[in-house]
Amino acid sequence: MSYPVLREFTHEELLDHFFLEPQDRYQISEMSRSDANRLGQAVLLTTYRFLGYPPTQAEEIPNQLVEWLANQLGADPTLFASAYGWRQRVWWRHLAWTRERSRTVAFNPEEHQGLLSIWLLDNGDDLLTRSEWVKSAVHFFRSKGIELPQRAEMLRLVGSIRRQFEERLFNKVASMLDQETRAWMDRLLETDTGNSNFDWLKAPPGKSGMKTYLAEADKLRLLREFPFDRSLCPPGLSQRRFRHLCTRVAAEDASLMRTHPPERRYTLLFVWLCARKAEVTDHLVSLFLQIIRKVERKGKDELKNEVDLVKVYGTRTLLHKLARASRARPDSPISAVMLAELGEDTLKTLYQEIEQEQISLDVARARKVQKKFRGYQKMVTTMMEVLDFRTRSDNREPLLKAMAMIADHADSKATFISEPLPPGFQAGAWEKAILDQSPDGKRLRRKALEVCVLSQLEEALKCKDVWVEGAYRFRDPDQDLPRDWSERRPYYYRRLSLPTGSTEFVNSLRSELEQALREANLVQDQRKKDAVGPEIRKTASGKSHLHVPTPAKRPEREILGEIKDRVSLRYGVLDLLDILAEVDRRVDISAHFHTSGQRRILGREEVRRRLLLVLFALGTNLGLQRLHSAANPDCSYDDLRYFMRRFITPQALRDANVALVNHILELRNPKLWGEGTACASDGKFLAAWDRNPTTEWNPHYGGRGVKVYWHVEQGAVAIHSQVKSPSCTEVAPMIEGVVHHGTLAAIETNCTDSGGQSLPAFGLCRPLQFELLPRFRQVKKFSLNLPYPELAAELPALLGVTTRSIRWDLIEERYDDYARHAAAILERTGPIESILRRFTRYNRPHPTYRALLEIGRAERTIYLCRLLSEPELHVWVHDQLNGIEHWNSCNQFICFARRSELRTNDPVTQELIVGSLHLLQNAMVLANTLMVENVLDHQLLERMNQEDLRSLTPLFTSNINPYGDFELDLTKPSFLEAI
């Protein structure tokens, strides 16, 4: 609520805001003798408390409110309109008493306007929209006991102060820039030779490849002429306002930017250039990682296709391992057998022969990769020129020295480098390909060294052992962590619900692990042979493994078909556009979309009309041009394009979806749909154009596209969506959706498939306060870790599936750093994907990563024990994942046009399409939820058993029509109320 107004209230709201306390009724009866005056005084008192100001006219008071107060006083409600003199002498007397009773004073512009101005100017850093400024002003007046000015006066005051704040901010930023920097900014906007440098810098990167890499490098060269970055932003420029100003710039071209006053123009350019410099740096690093990965994959694939090499080397790998193990451990039993059978000389000769063949294979693989890298040679010199690499790891210092060696010989055409490798540099399998024996000694093959160094750099960047100066996602990993950890350590531990001492945490986790193992052992020991559910099976060879059966497919419940028929019979087939309009009528999603320009000229109804058309065009994938031709609105196609550019942003769509989800959660019956404490997450592949770095080839689907990662609550409401590359890990988006969905859903458990789980994910779920319940693809590969070795003898039913004990000492040593990383995820001090980069297989020696793996093993064992001891748990997890599969299947119904292909190369537009699809599908869920609850009478509810309630879903489309004519009529009555 921005400026408070009277409306229709629910019964709970009437009790909270308009209930007369006994002392209120006593003083009213003492002051007013007639029923009309007592009723009028009660109306004025309660509305004044709720609004913060007296209503100007009696007609503003809803009849519902008058009747509510009349019932409390035992008076006739008609007396209020007929006998009470509103704004007459008795009203002014009652108003003075009300102000005294409420301990407020009337608004005095000369006295209070200055106080409001000072307070808002000091606290306006995170206030962006007009409604936020008004809401903050209302909070100020209420906290100071000052009566609110009338709405028009309030808007005038807030608008004036808002302009003062922006002018002060613009002047502060512009004062940081010297004349030379301002002239450089002005040159960016020049369009004498065609497109300006500004428009060129704004263009998104193209398809992953050398051409795109060099183009992005040229952009970074130009941006590095700008002497500022995000770390040099003034204090008044909060991160939220920083992103908001960047959004404003993204909607404008060079000609529009030139129309701004100088201070505003320079501030907008300052913010955008700081952000763009970090974005382009991130693009360059991402492109480098993609190119290196592609080159290595092509080289290895070509080697595999050579049948002779595969035949020779692939079949002798096992024998090589046996010979090497025998040489390394001559006292082991296997060595004795091999020595007796082959003899020491034969075994030594065999080992040397296979070792030489293995070296030849490594050299062949290195040369294949080097051959594929020839077309990307220019990338090396470009990268060394425009990117600055840093590290704090002693193990990576030799890598940076090797990179410096490459940079020194970047312009050389010589085949060899007559220098030794940097001390400590480990070439690994590349050593034989790099080193060359010459008459003068060893020398280095330059191109082989380049590929080796770049391959190691790729691994170091992936785990952030090496970072890039000026980047954001690939910045110093310590910058992703809370800066005030030392000062606010107790606060962060409370936020994480963790004990401050490592011993207490370890003892609690150890005790929980032991209890879970004992319970699983007891249940499996008492398990009947013909029981169905998770169990421990033995193979023919006598080995034991975990087995979780796939639940049998259940047919659709007959009563659910009857419910759908009732919905269709009562409400008919509904147009999807009408459903979207109904949702806007109920939730006011248009309130979350604000212009990125300086002011809004369009009226509210016209904004609603254009907004719904644009959202429908994006969500169905029709596109603005097709929708404009079909709907034939009053505005032109160019008007819709301009509206989309100015009003529709990914953040606005997220805010609208949060409001819609919250409305559904508050409105629906929890006895039918659940409490909203569990969700499921999964990725959905959508085909997309590939001239952008997000789209990748997916071998499983046989095409190019992006991955949309959904989080769907158990009542079939999507609480979060993200657009990711198909090759990216699902762990980071899984955690982000659970922790930062932003809705009222109190998510306690998250179900996912094998792609969304890992040991680090299990390790982080406890401080992030949710349970991870995955459906494992190959559960038989897992073992149960013990809290201490001696416990294995007490678990006979788990014999064969237990393994080593947890290393609690590692957890105790790195407990504080573990909590610090969890706090970074919870507080969002950096991108979650960047924070988790430190915990990958490329960074195995990292002590915090090793501790996190141990915690993850304990948590995973606890979950596996729950599967063994709770037979219905795996069925429930399977049902939750079936729910998100059902959501995914509805995506094609809503986003039906163009074969559901995202025909754009702009990553932001891809986000807009997915966000609009998210909004449209949730709108369908809201409509179906209300209609299902309306058709469920008492008799039908009595016929439904627990299985029917569990199968009930609002995700059905038999009553929805997304096609045909698109006629948007905002005056049409609600189809829900018309019935």
d(CA 110, CA 114): 7
Q: Give the chain's domain count.
A: 6
Query: According to the model, what pLDDT value does residue 295 have?
Result: 82
Residue 508 belongs to some domain of the structure: no
Q: 725 burial class (0-12, 13-18, 19+ CB within 10 angstroms)?
A: middle
Residue 368 belongs to some domain of the structure: yes
Query: According to the model, what pLDDT value does residue 1 have?
Result: 47
Residue 548 phi/psi, 5-degree rounding, is -120, 110
In 3D space, the residue among 921, 900, 908 whose CA is nearest the CA of residue 719 turns out to be 921
Tokens of 226: 């700008």
Contact 921, 895 (CB under 8 A): no
pLDDT confidence tier of residue 351, bands split at 50, 70 and 90: low
Residue 523 belongs to some domain of the structure: no
pLDDT confidence tier of residue 595, bands split at 50, 70 and 90: confident
Tokens of 696: 């990748």
For 494-535, how does the pLDDT look when each residue is reduced to its tens digit (9 = 90+)?
Answer: 999 999 999 999 999 999 999 999 999 999 988 877 788 888
Residue 50 belongs to some domain of the structure: yes
The pLDDT of residue 810 is above 70? yes
For 890-947, how does the pLDDT look when each residue is reduced to its tens digit (9 = 90+)?
Answer: 999 999 999 899 999 999 999 999 999 999 999 999 999 999 999 998 888 888 888 8
Query: According to the model, what pLDDT value does residue 416 have?
Result: 87
Q: Which of 17-26, 161-170, 200-209, 333-342 shows the lowest per-residue confidence on average (mean pLDDT)?
A: 333-342
The pLDDT of residue 366 is above 80? no
Side chain identity at 916, as an amino acid letter?
A: S
Contact 890, 921 (CB under 8 A): yes
Residue 181 belongs to some domain of the structure: yes
Q: 937 burial class (0-12, 13-18, 19+ CB within 10 angstroms)?
A: exposed
For 247-283, how does the pLDDT look when each residue is reduced to its tens digit (9 = 90+)?
Answer: 889 888 899 999 999 999 999 999 999 999 999 999 9
In 3D space, the residue among 339, 309, 307, 303 whose CA is nearest the CA of residue 322 turns out to be 339
pLDDT confidence tier of residue 97, bands split at 50, 70 and 90: very high
One domain for residues 456 and 343 = yes
Q: Which residues pair with 416 in a beta bridge?
A: 445
Using DSSP, state whether 678 is helix, strand or coil.
strand
Side chain identity at 476, as an amino acid letter?
A: D
One domain for residues 406 and 272 = no
One domain for residues 763 and 867 = yes
DSSP codes joined into one string, 455-491: HHHHHHHHTTSEEETT-STTS-GGGGS-TTTTTTHHH
Contact 848, 742 (CB under 8 A): no
d(CA 77, CA 445): 96
Neighbours of 259 (CB within 10 A): 9
Residue 136: left if φ>0, alpha if ψ -120 to 50, beta else—which one?
alpha
463-492 mean pLDDT: 94
Show the 3-state SS of 267-322.
HHHHHHHHHHHHHHHHHHHHHHHHHHHHHHHHHHHHHHHCHHHHHHHHCCHHHHHH
d(CA 211, CA 836): 30
One domain for residues 811 and 717 = yes
Query: According to the model, what pLDDT value does residue 362 have?
Result: 62
pLDDT confidence tier of residue 874, bands split at 50, 70 and 90: very high
Tokens of 366: 């290195």
pLDDT confidence tier of residue 701, bands split at 50, 70 and 90: confident
210-237 mean pLDDT: 84
Report the interhelical angle of 847-869 vs 502-525 (nearest 10°). Answer: 30
For 158-172, how does the pLDDT look when each residue is reduced to its tens digit (9 = 90+)?
Answer: 999 999 999 999 999
**Side-chain half-sphere exposure of 693, counting CA atoms within 13 A:** 23
In this prediction the pTM is 0.88
Q: Which residues pair with 752 in a beta bridge?
A: 774
One domain for residues 832 and 732 = yes
Residue 543 belongs to some domain of the structure: no
Q: Which helix (H) or strand (E) holds 886?
A: helix 873-894
Query: Bigger pLDDT: 420 or 688?
Result: 688
DSSP code at position 829: S
Q: Which of 121-125, 297-301, 350-354, 881-885 shows the lowest per-residue confidence on average (mean pLDDT)?
A: 350-354
> Per-residue b/e over 732-762, b at no fewer than 16 CB within 10 Å?
bbbbbbbbebebebebebbbbbebbbbbbbb
For 627-660, how does the pLDDT look when each residue is reduced to its tens digit (9 = 90+)?
Answer: 999 888 889 999 999 999 999 999 999 999 999 9
Q: 888 burial class (0-12, 13-18, 19+ CB within 10 angstroms)?
A: middle
Query: According to the model, what pLDDT value does residue 345 have?
Result: 64
Query: According to the model, what pLDDT value does residue 317 have?
Result: 59
d(CA 339, CA 358): 22
Report CA-CA distances (Å) from 595 to 129, 130, 453, 555, 612. Answer: 9, 11, 48, 49, 15
Query: According to the model, what pLDDT value does residue 357 have?
Result: 52
Using DSSP, state whether 33 is helix, strand or coil.
coil
Tokens of 717: 């409401």
Residue 562 phi/psi, 5-degree rounding, is -65, -40
pLDDT confidence tier of residue 308, bands split at 50, 70 and 90: very low
971-976 mean pLDDT: 78
The domain boundary residue, chosen from 410, 444, 478: 478
DSSP strands (E only) in 901-955: none
Residue 491 belongs to some domain of the structure: no
Side chain identity at 835, as an amino acid letter?
A: I
Output the CA torsion sign for 288, 289, 290, 296. Answer: positive
d(CA 925, CA 921): 6
Q: Which helix (H) or strand (E) holds 32?
A: none
Q: Which helix (H) or strand (E) holds 758?
A: none
The pLDDT of residue 419 is above 90? no
Side chain identity at 798, as an amino acid letter?
A: L
The domain boundary residue, chosen from 69, 102, 135: 102
Report the interhelical angle of 22-31 vs 35-51 (nearest 10°). Answer: 130
Using DSSP, state whether 693 is helix, strand or coil.
coil
Contact 914, 709 (CB under 8 A): no
Output the CA torsion sign for 374, 376, 382, 384. Answer: negative
d(CA 748, CA 768): 10
Cα 955–961–967 angle (5° rounding)? 130
For 563-594, how does the pLDDT look when each residue is reduced to its tens digit (9 = 90+)?
Answer: 999 999 999 999 999 999 999 999 999 989 98
Output the CA torsion sign for 685, 687, 691, 692. Answer: negative
d(CA 543, CA 336): 25
One domain for residues 119 and 230 = no
Query: β-strands 416-417, 441-445: how paired?
Result: antiparallel
pLDDT confidence tier of residue 408, bands split at 50, 70 and 90: confident
Query: According to the model, what pLDDT value does residue 314 have?
Result: 45
One domain for residues 710 and 844 = yes
DSSP code at position 973: P
Q: Which residues contact 214 (CB under 8 A, 6 or more apart)?
A: 378, 379, 382
Give the domain extent around 952.
558-650+904-978
Report CA-CA distances (Å) from 934 to 929, 946, 979. Answer: 9, 20, 10
One domain for residues 379 and 444 = yes
The pLDDT of residue 435 is above 90? no
Query: According to the model, what pLDDT value does residue 129 have?
Result: 84
Side chain identity at 78, as an amino acid letter?
A: T
One domain for residues 64 and 153 = no
One domain for residues 608 and 566 = yes
Query: According to the model, what pLDDT value does residue 881 have?
Result: 94
Q: Which residues contact 35 (CB under 8 A, 6 or more apart)?
A: 73, 75, 76, 79
The pLDDT of residue 359 is above 80? no
Query: β-strands 960-961, 574-575: how paired?
Result: parallel
Residue 512 belongs to some domain of the structure: no
The domain boundary residue, chosen from 49, 78, 102: 102
| Average pLDDT in the chain | 88
For 61-93, how does the pLDDT look when each residue is reduced to its tens digit (9 = 90+)?
Answer: 999 999 999 999 999 999 998 899 898 999 999
Query: According to the model, what pLDDT value does residue 930 have?
Result: 94
Query: According to the model, what pLDDT value does residue 330 have?
Result: 67
Output the CA torsion sign for 908, 909, 914, 917. Answer: positive
For 715-743, how does the pLDDT look when each residue is reduced to its tens digit (9 = 90+)?
Answer: 899 999 999 999 888 999 999 999 999 99
Neighbours of 179 (CB within 10 A): 7
One domain for residues 203 and 154 = no
In the chain, what percentage of residues exceed pLDDT 90? 59
The pLDDT of residue 319 is above 70? no
The pLDDT of residue 409 is above 80? yes
One domain for residues 883 and 909 = no
Q: 666 burial class (0-12, 13-18, 19+ CB within 10 angstroms)?
A: exposed
